[in-house]
Every structure is written in structure tokens, then in C-alpha cells.
Structure 1
Amino acid sequence: MSRHRLIHPAWLVAAVTFVALVGAAGFRATPSVLLHPLHAEFGWPLATISAAVSVNLILYGLTAPFAAALMDRFGVRRVVAGALVLVSAGSGLTVFMTASWQLVLCWGVLVGLGTGSMALAFVATVTGRWFVRHRGLVTGVLTAGGAAGQLVFLPLLAVVVRDHGWRTAALIVAAAALVVVPLVGWLLRDHPADLGLPPYGGEELVPVPAATGGGAASRALRALAAAARTRPFWLLAGGFAICGATTNGLVGTHFIPAAHDHGMPETTAAGLLALVGLFDIVGTVASGWLTDRVDSRLLLGAYYALRGASLLVLPSLFAATTGPSMLVFIVFYGLDWVATVPPTVALCREYFGASGPVVFGWVFAAHQFGAALAATATGLVRDQLGSYALAWYVAGALSVGAAVLSVLLRRRRTTGPIFEVPPAPVPAAAGWRLRPEDA
């Protein structure tokens, strides 16, 4: 196969990845528009429904590092196709539920496992394999696609829920995820070497790593054990946990109910979150471009500090109508929504080398634990105090703390990663070894 093409296949792989991420994002858009309909139909407390969201968020995060290792073992195409089927099944089965434990099973477990297999570790795997040039930019575009897709679905879902009920919305999401499966099976490829090509921007053909029997879960756990002995891992994981708490857990889950508490129609609030998604595209792509040029530590510190400032003023902006100040917040917050991802992925690659996607999966798991904790805790705050105000103030303060954690990350004093995790168990003498300055 010729090495010279008008369009490198990496761009086709990136396009299919983008579509898969947007398809999976559909169900992740539904929690905030279904909180009140489920409460109204079944009488479940908001804290109970939020707990199902928390299970989803936890599994979404915990699945990511194992999915990255499974992609090494079985291939990206098989893992992503299976994940989309899980998302579709979990979404479709919710229409038959009659008890809250069934919500946890479908919405929490099935969809959590499916979407977790296509989380940001999926993005890190694709960009790490297929791109050398523009890696940060492509990471930004794919990240924006997944996050923005989740939010852009909101106005459609809110209208469908209002006019046709929440079950129709769940079935639409199930179909949207399922229809992407043939596209993934047809066009997604695992490695550039499968086509006889180097990665985009690379000069050398990168051999396909040999598959290892039964080593995917072991490799993910060994990566965690090695990374947990380093200072950078805990700083990155701590900051990203706060990132999850202040995005998916808080704003993504509770912004619409909070706006509704102040008299704003749910469709209007969903439209505002859709605007967050649109501006997120701009902000995350720009962040990817900046990540190729600016120290990622400084970018993270700035992003978290600005997010904290915006959340501290949010409680004063809620009203029955959308004022100019709220629109300013939406634009500003949208630009910052997941701008943290490209520099975090870059730092995982810098510190942990080829094991970076798997380690990032664990960092992302911390993101989702933070999101899960925030989703449930915010529901409890609202149930007990009758207001969301305290949750916004705490989130703003935590974001400032994440900025501090980011600037505490040190530049590497040596070249090469802190450690590499071998693809299969090896004797201790040949395993990973930490450098003293990085422990």
C-alpha cells in the first residue's frame, strides 16, 4: 500500500472516532432532563435518582483504564462496537423499569460500562497510535466532540421529553448509539501498521505490538500500582477529580434542575447547556492547539482558576429569564468545560510514556469519582437545604484548589517516561523502575 496519499487514513480514523464519541454522548445527556420527569412519575427522591447517575459516573471512570488495556489486547474496533451495543441496550431497557434498582442497573451499570469503554482513554489511545503531528489539536477536537455532543443533544431531548415523554427520548438515544456500530466495524482501524503506514507526521512504521494472553486487566492494575508511587499521578488525579466534580457531576447533572428552581423552563435551561457544548468545541480545540505550544502545567492552572471564579458568581445569575450575565457565564464556562483534557493527556504521556493512555484512564477514573460524589452530594444538598447555592460555592473553591495542584507539577529533569509497564508479567528485575526524582 502506498505511503503517499492525499488524505492520511489517520484523519478517517479520527472522523469515525468523533462520530462514535458523539453517538455515545447521547445517553450521557439525559440525566439532567430526566431528573424531574422520573421524580414526577415514580416519586423517587432526587438523591435516589442522582445516586443512579453516580453509579454511571463511577463505572464510566473505572472502565476507562481497563478499556484502554483491552484495546491493546483485542483491538479498538471490537471494544468500541461492543461498548455502543451496551449503551444502546442500557438506554432502551429503561423504558421497562418500574423500580429504582432497575434505573441503577440500566442507567448506572450498562450505560456506565459502555460509555466508559469510549471515554477519554479511547481518545488518548487513538491519538497516541495514529498521530505524531497535531496530536494535541486532534485530542482537543475529539474531546470536544464527546463533551459537546452530550450537551448539544439536550435541547432535542428536552423537547422530546416535554412533548412525547421520557421513554421516547430513551429510545431515540438507544437508536443513535446502535446506528454507529456498522460504521465503526467498517471504517475504524487499530494501528497505522495495519495499513502499512507510519502515524500521521511520523517517518517510521510502528510495528503492531504483539497481543498478550489475558494480560489486559493485569496491565491496567500494574500501571496503577506503578503510577500511584509517583507524585505527578496524585497531583493530576486530584485536579482531575475536581474537574469531574465541577463539570459532569455538578453542572452537567444539576444545572437544569437548579435553573428550574428559579422559574426557568427546562427547555430553556437545556438550550443554555447546549450553548455550553458549542463553545466547548471552540475552547477545547483551542486548548489542544495551545497544548502543542504552551507548558501544560500553566494551562491547567489557568483553566481551573478561571472555572472557580465563574462558579462562585453563578448563584447570583439564576433567574426565570436568561439575562446577559448568564449568557456571559455560559460562553465563559463553555470555553473552559473540558479544556483541561488535552494538557492532562499530554502530561500523562510526558510522565508515563507509552503507558500514558492506561495511566490517563486511571486519572480519568478519579475524574469520574469526583463527578459521582458531586452528583449525589449536590442532590442531598438540594433535598436538605432546598437550594443549590452551597454546592456552587464549594465547587468554586475546589476549582481554585485544583489550580494550585496543577502548578505544583514539576517539569521533567530527564528525558523519557518515569516508567513503562511491560505488556505481560515479567520478573521483578525487568519490570518498571522509578527514577528517584519522580517518586
Structure 2
Amino acid sequence: MTQTSEATAAGTESGPALPSRPGRIHRAWFVAAVTFVTIIGAAAFRSLPGLLIDPLNEEFGWSRGTIGGAVSVNLALYGLTAPFAAALMDRFGIRRVVAVALLVIALGSGATVWMTAPWQLLLCWGLLVGLGSGSMALAFAATVTNRWFTQRRGLVTGILTAASASGQLIFLPLLSWMITSQRDWRPAAVTVSLAALAVVPFVWLLLRDHPADVGLKPYGATEFVVKPPPVPGAARRAVTVLFSAVRTGPFWLLAGTFAICGASTNGLIQTHFVPAAHDHGMPITAAASLLAVIGVFDVIGTVASGWFTDRFEPRRLLAVYYALRGVSLLFLPMLLAPGVHPPMIFFIVFYGLDWVATVPPTLALCREQYGEDSAIVFGWVLASHQVGAALVAFLGGVARDAFGSYDVVWYASGALCAAAALMALVIRRRPVRPAPAVAGAPA
């Protein structure tokens, strides 16, 4: 049987291969749109932790280190769950895993309204929301991109990464207004729960696991791609891929740089910027609005980074991104003030453009180095991102309790970003393997 007839037969098994029509929008873009909306809805929970530090401290008397510890568990599980979620998607399908993850997020966030002790915050926000969010992590975007696209992968990765920032843009002002106007954090937690629930029907009805499910080729592919069979042993495969990857130098460099990325974004700015600005007299609503502005420019920066990644060397892009981020953090302690002034706005715009611009080139390097296992490897790299975020979320709160300010945290994070820039430059290129010789081919 010829290759063409095999593809045709495979397409018939999964559904008839649909002919391409001039001007017709490929189904992959609709799947990407559903994924974008899904990540936006799930991103609501990521907007809340930084807003809860002061209200929980005032209501329950819990220290910032205690609250930061629960947030750090959430961030760590967000990363550590991701590689297993990517393997589970190979086993049970994207749609099922994401729908269950959203339900777990809704349960964890909704249950916080009844908590009265720190261990309950750790259980609800740390464990449940952390596990659910980990299954909705960037490994989800990587899996969708790898399955549905062979062209424009950098651009699509940038767009899907920006979805999280878009969710932050939508929910941060709303949640901060709820907390300050009603002097209660519980309505905000309920809103997060409802937002996650609202996305579940879209996932179940509109998302598809593979182009072959609707008889299509991936976007940009020249041949029909047969849907692979379910991969058993999801946990075993995730661990096996990890053991294989850790024997390579690029994995440690990618994991190290991404750990610093998480430390300087989710762990530092997203968790501690609002309370740090409030320490200098800035109203919580104003500080939350500045974080929302970061979300606006994060969308622009991440999509642009995806476009750049399709055209330029990803190692150099990463070096530039981390170096500029480190410089900006060194100036932040001098910019915090009771009011919002032009230099602070410049910092917010600049930091927003650079927020997760690191994701498209990092994912591109994972694809270059690890091929078909790249989504799971990226899940482990993302785990390092969240471990870095978790450490700074906790240590930042401890430093604030010990020193009375966040200054030392800003300076230390700036130095780490400089180290990440150097690490990105030394990631080696994967050697191009020559094509196997064909019998009878002319020498």
C-alpha cells in the first residue's frame, strides 16, 4: 500500500479526510481559540494570591510567611503536575484531563470561603488548586500546539501563553475591587470558582484531541497524520522521559533558566508586588491595576516573542529577555511610591513585554532537543519554573517579615536574571543527523 493510500485509509478510520478549500479557515485555529478561552477562564485563580496576603493577615493574623508558604505549595504543584498532565493527555485525551482540572480548581477555590486555619488554606489553595492548575499549565498549550500545528508553532505558543495574562487583565481589577469595596475576600474566591466552572462546557463541547478526530491534517502539514493510540502508563512515561532528559546538559540549562523565570515573575511580582506597593502607601486597587497593565503588555510581548522565535535564534532571544528583566528589577525599589508616576508606568510596560516572552523560545529549544517527547520535557522544565516561583513566593514573605521591606528580594532576583542570560547562551545546538542512506540511491 502506498503512503497516500495509507493516509487515506487512516483518515477513513478516524473520519473522512476533509478536502482543503481555498480561503477556508483551518480547524486548528478554532481549537487554538478554545484553548485560549479555556486558559483565560482558568487564569482567574492566578490573579488572586497576591491580593489575599494583606486581607488574610488582617483577618486571621497569619504571617506573610505562612500565607506565602501556601502560595508556594500551589506554585510548586502547578509545575510538578504539568509533566504528568501532559502524559495523561496522551493517555486519556486533552478534553477529559482539562475538564477534570477545571472542576478541581473550582472545588479548591470555592472551599476556601469556609477556612479558619492555615492548614485549610494549604489544602484548598495549595493542594487542590495547585493540582488543577498544573493540569492547565503551559504543557496543555504545548500539547495542543504540537498536535494541531506544524507551521506557526512559535506564534501559536505565544498567543496561548498570552491567554494567561489576558485572564489576569480581566480578573485582577474585578477581584481587587471586590476585596476593597466589600472589605471581604470571599466573594473574590467564589468568582474564581465560578469562572473555572463556566469554561467546562466549552472544553467538553468544542475541544478535540487530534486533527485526525475530524479527518484533517495538522495546520501546515503536507501529509495526513494518523492519531497515535492511547499511551498507557502515563506516570511511568513522564518519569522515563525525565530520567532520559536529565542525562543531557541542555535540560539542566533550560530548567535553570526557567526556574529563574518563575522566581522573577509568578513568585516575585505576581505574589509580592501588591503588598510591596501597599507598604509604600499605594492603594491595593492601584497596585492591582498596575499588575493588570502588565497583563496587557504581556499579551503583546508574548505574541511578538512567538513571531521572533519563528525567525531568530531562540538562545539569543532568551539571553536578551533575561538580561533586560534583571536590569529592570534593580531599579524597582527606587520606583515604589504612594502614587503612580511615569517611571513606574515605564517599568510596568517594560516588565509586561518581558513577562513570559521566555516561553516561546524555551519551548522551541525543547522541541529542537527532545523531539516527540518535547511536551513532557517542557512539562518538567515548567516544573522547575514553578519550583523557582514557589521558593521566592515563600522566601519573599519571610524576607518581608525579617527585614521590613522587599528590597533585598528585588536585588537578588535581578542578579539571578543576569545568571539566566549567561546560561541561555551556552545551551548547545542539537547536531543535525544525516538522513539514512537509501539502497540503490546514487552516491
Name the TM tier (shorter chain).
over 0.9
- Read off the aligned partner of 1:293 and give its amino acid letter: R
Q: Please tell me whether the aligned partners of residues 152 and 275 of structure 1 are also in contact (alpha carbons under 8 angstroms).
A: no
For the 8 Å contact 2:154–2:360, the answer to whether it is kept is yes
Matched, 1:277 2:295: yes
Equivalent AA in structure 2 for residue 195 of structure 1: V
Which consecutive residues of structure 2, in runs of 5 or more, have no partner in the other structure? Answer: 1-15, 435-443
Distance 1:53 1:158 in 2: 18
What amino acid maps onto 2:298 in structure 1? D
1:191 to 210, 215, 218: 210
Match of 1:402 in 2: 420
Structure 1 residues 136-151: aligned runs within 5 Å: 136-151=154-169
**Which position in structure 2 is the counterpart of 1:376?**
394
Q: Is the CA contact (8 Å cut-off) linking 1:152 and 1:278 kept in structure 2? A: no
* 2:140 pairs with 1:122: yes
Q: 1: CA distance between counterparts of 2:170 and 2:265?
A: 15
Q: CA–CA distance in 2 between the matches of 1:18 and 1:415?
A: 35
Are 2:81 and 1:63 aligned? Answer: yes
In 1, Cα distance between equivalents of 2:99 and 2:51: 27
Corresponding position: 1:3 with 2:19: yes
Matched, 1:132 2:150: yes
Structure 1 residue 7 displacement after superposition: 1.4
Letter in 2 for 1:398: L
Write the distance in 1 (CA, Å) between the matches of 2:222 and 2:338: 58
Equivalent runs, 1:270-419 vs 2, <5 Å: 270-415=288-433
**In structure 2, what is the equivalent of residue 245 of structure 1?**
263
Secondary structure of 1:229's partner?
coil
Deviation sequence 1:54-111 (CA, Å, 0-9, x none)? 0000100000000000000000000000000011001100001111100000000010
Alpha-carbon displacement from aligned partner over 1:356-392 (angstroms, at most 9, x marks no partner): 0000000000000000000000000000000100000
Partner of 1:419: none
| Residues 3 and 196 in structure 1, CA contact (< 8 A), matched pair in contact too | no
2:229 maps to which of 202, 210, 235: 210
Which digits, 9 at most, give the CA deviation of each residue in 1:28-51, with x for residues without a partner?
A: 110011110111111100000000
- Residues of 2 paired with 1:194 and 1:157: CA distance? 39
Q: Which amino acid aligns with 1:133?
A: Q
Matched, 1:26 2:40: no
Letter in 2 for 1:62: L
Secondary structure at the counterpart of residue 179 of structure 1: helix
Where in structure 1 are there 5+ consecutive unaligned residues? 417-439
Q: Structure 1 residues 163-172 or 318-327, which shifts more? A: 163-172
Q: How far apart in 2 are the matches of 1:380 and 1:57?
A: 17
**What amino acid does structure 2 have at the position aligned with 1:130?**
W
Tell me the CA shift for residue 150 of structure 1. 2.6
**Cα offset for 1:162?**
1.1
The residue type equivalent to 2:231 in the other structure is T
Task: For residue 320 of structure 1, give the secondary structure of its aligned residue in structure 2.
Answer: coil
SS in 2 for 1:180: helix
% identical equivalent positions: 63
Partner Cα separation in structure 1 for residue 64 and residue 248 of structure 2: 39
Is 1:198–1:206's contact at 8 Å kept on the other side of the alignment?
Answer: yes
1:151: how far off?
A: 4.5
Give the corresponding residue for 1:234.
252
Q: Distance in 2 between matches of 1:372 and 1:303?
A: 21
The DSSP-based 3-state class of the residue aligned with 1:132 is coil
* TM-score normalised by structure 1 residue count: 0.93
The corresponding residue for 2:96 is 78
8 Å CA contact retained: 2:165, 2:296: no
Q: How many residues align?
A: 415
TM-score normalized by the length of structure 2: 0.93
> Match for 2:239: what amino acid?
L
Contact kept in structure 1, 2:172 and 2:291, CA below 8 Å = yes
8 Å contact from structure 1 (residues 77, 189) kept in 2:
yes
Q: Which residue of 2 aligns with 1:201?
A: 220
Letter in 2 for 1:278: V
Aligned residue identity for 2:19: R
CA distance in 2 between counterparts of 1:400 and 1:51 reads: 26
CA RMSD of aligned residues (A): 0.9
| Inter-partner Cα distance in structure 2 for 1:204 and 1:190 | 18
* Residue number among 171, 177, 193 corresponding to 1:153 in the alignment: 171
Tell me the residue number matched to 1:172. Answer: 191
Report Cα offsets for 1:166-201 as digits up to 9, x if no partner: 100111110010011011000000000111111011
Letter in 2 for 1:183: F
1:316 positional shift: 0.2
Partner secondary structure for residue 81 of structure 2: helix
* Residue type at the aligned position of 2:403: L
